[in-house]
């Protein structure tokens, strides 16, 4: 691998272990605990942090609130919020700021009590008029999950994709989840029924939520959080763990347009940019941490990131090729269990960075042998409608 892009590295990580805090902890407390443990993982102190990246999950005045709560005086505050892709954007921005000499140690944190607060993330309304063009959609009763179902149905119509093919994604992530004690505990705490590895038949026979998406194709709603520490090269080389380098990044936006194709996501623009900057190709990637709000999200993103051609995703994912123990078949998908079977507190982008880092350190519960390259891709907003894409290519020495 060419020694390019070595201008910032992930040096510390922590994933908050509980997916059901039962109202005992706030998002700010989850963020603070995760930050402390991530800094400990890196062998750094609070006083080393000079840049804060936050998506506002801890409350209003996000950057100021977090700085005061953590007792920090950062030189950089970035409060970009683009939903589930926010933390891929944050990683890209931290790398840019560190490379520009404006910061040396960046801290990204996330905390959510979506489950404890009984937030209707997927089946509720679409933001109560937050989007100025919602008058074109919400009057018809369009919910978030129905938006994804619409994209799935269009993919089926346009390319012949089947429910059985989409189910391959759910079975692969559950296969990995059953090897992750935190994911198994999460399913127990959230009262999943019949917790075990699943089959394609299990998925397609689970109850319909929004045609054609079944229950086992929809992410869980959990509490949770985590933290990521990103550092300059001279700092990274002296940290407690081997650095995981940010090699390339890409950002893109997509929204409904006349003549637009809802089976194509913003990843079609962010992915090529990230891969080109990293100097690697999709077929070199060992681990693909792909935002899995629903099965169709993953299928579309795999196509748009270049792992297979548009419309060929259904056939490409067949036969269990996304499992961690099939390295000859391509990248392992969401080896922590993903949003479908490990956690999804509302904005899952940070967990993609966490598990990608664990894989490149050799610390995953579904470890890909000699994993050297990973992609973390976040999708924020709604597939088939307005959304942002953030792609981050990671590599180890």
Is 215 part of a structural domain of the chain?
no
Is 177 part of a structural domain of the chain?
no
pLDDT, average across residues 101-126 = 84
Is 192 part of a structural domain of the chain?
no
Q: Which of 17-31, 155-169, 317-331 has the highest mean pLDDT?
A: 155-169
CA–CA gap between residue 207 and residue 196 (Å, rounded): 17
Q: Residue 25: give the domain boundaries.
A: 9-118+221-396
| pLDDT above 90: residue 385 | no
Q: How many domains would you assign to the chain?
A: 1
| pLDDT above 50: residue 1 | no
Pairing of strands 373-381, 387-396: antiparallel
The pLDDT score that the predictor gives to residue 328 is: 86
| pLDDT above 60: residue 3 | no
List, for residues 127-171, the tens digit of each pLDDT value: 444 555 566 666 667 788 998 999 999 999 999 999 999 999 999
CA–CA gap between residue 153 and residue 4 (Å, rounded): 41
Residue 123 pLDDT level (bands cut at 50, 70, 90) = low
Is 4 part of a structural domain of the chain?
no
Of all residues in the chain, the percent with pLDDT exceeding 90 is 84
The pLDDT score that the predictor gives to residue 4 is: 62
Average pLDDT, the chain: 93
The pLDDT score that the predictor gives to residue 128 is: 42
The pLDDT score that the predictor gives to residue 120 is: 66
Is 263 part of a structural domain of the chain?
yes
CA–CA gap between residue 269 and residue 259 (Å, rounded): 17
Which CATH number goes with the domain that contains 225? 3.40.47.10
Of all residues in the chain, the percent with pLDDT exceeding 70 is 93
Is 148 part of a structural domain of the chain?
no
The pLDDT score that the predictor gives to residue 58 is: 80
* DSSP states of 16-39: -S-S--TTSS-HHHHHHHHHHHHH
Q: Nearest CA to 4 among 341, 208, 278?
A: 278
Tokens describing residue 369: 């042998």
List, for residues 344-383, the tens digit of each pLDDT value: 999 999 999 999 999 999 999 999 999 999 999 999 998 9
């Amino acid at each position: 691998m060419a020694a390019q892009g070595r201008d910032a590295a992930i040096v510390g990580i922590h994933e908050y272990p509980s997916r059901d805090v039962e109202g005992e902890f706030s998002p700010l407390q989850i963020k603070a605990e995760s930050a402390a443990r991530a800094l400990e993982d890196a062998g750094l102190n609070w006083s080393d942090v000079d840049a804060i990246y936050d998506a506002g999950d801890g409350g209003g005045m996000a950057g100021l609130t977090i700085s005061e709560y953590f007792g920090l005086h950062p030189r950089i505050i970035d409060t970009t919020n683009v939903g589930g892709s926010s933390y891929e954007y944050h990683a890209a921005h931290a790398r840019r700021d560190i490379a520009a000499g404006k910061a040396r140690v960046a801290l990204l944190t996330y905390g959510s009590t979506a489950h404890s607060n009984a937030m209707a993330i997927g089946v509720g309304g679409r933001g109560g008029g937050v989007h100025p063009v919602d008058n074109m959609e919400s009057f018809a009763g369009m919910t978030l999950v129905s938006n994804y179902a619409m994209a799935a149905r269009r993919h089926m119509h346009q390319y012949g994709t089947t429910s059985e093919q989409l189910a391959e994604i759910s079975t692969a992530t559950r296969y990995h989840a059953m090897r992750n004690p935190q994911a198994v505990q999460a399913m127990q705490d959230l009262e999943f029924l019949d917790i075990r590895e699943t089959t394609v038949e299990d998925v397609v026979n689970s109850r319909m939520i929004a045609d054609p998406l079944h229950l086992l194709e929809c992410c869980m709603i959990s509490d949770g959080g985590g933290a990521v520490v990103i550092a300059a090269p001279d700092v990274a080389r002296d940290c407690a763990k081997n650095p995981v380098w940010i090699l390339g990044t890409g950002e893109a936006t997509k929204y409904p347009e006349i003549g637009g194709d809802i089976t194509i996501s913003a990843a079609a623009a962010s992915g090529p940019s990230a891969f080109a900057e990293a100097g690697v190709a999709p077929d070199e990637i060992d681990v693909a941490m792909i935002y899995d709000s629903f099965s169709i999200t993953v299928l579309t993103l795999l196509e748009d990131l270049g792992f297979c051609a548009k419309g060929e995703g259904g056939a490409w994912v067949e036969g269990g090729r996304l499992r961690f123990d099939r390295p000859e078949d391509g990248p392992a998908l969401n080896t922590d269990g993903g949003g479908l079977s490990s956690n999804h507190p509302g904005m899952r982008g940070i967990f993609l960075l966490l598990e990608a880092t664990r894989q490149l350190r050799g610390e995953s519960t579904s470890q890909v042998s000699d994993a050297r390259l990973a992609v973390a891709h976040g999708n924020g907003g709604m597939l088939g409608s307005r959304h942002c894409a953030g792609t981050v290519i990671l590599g180890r020495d």
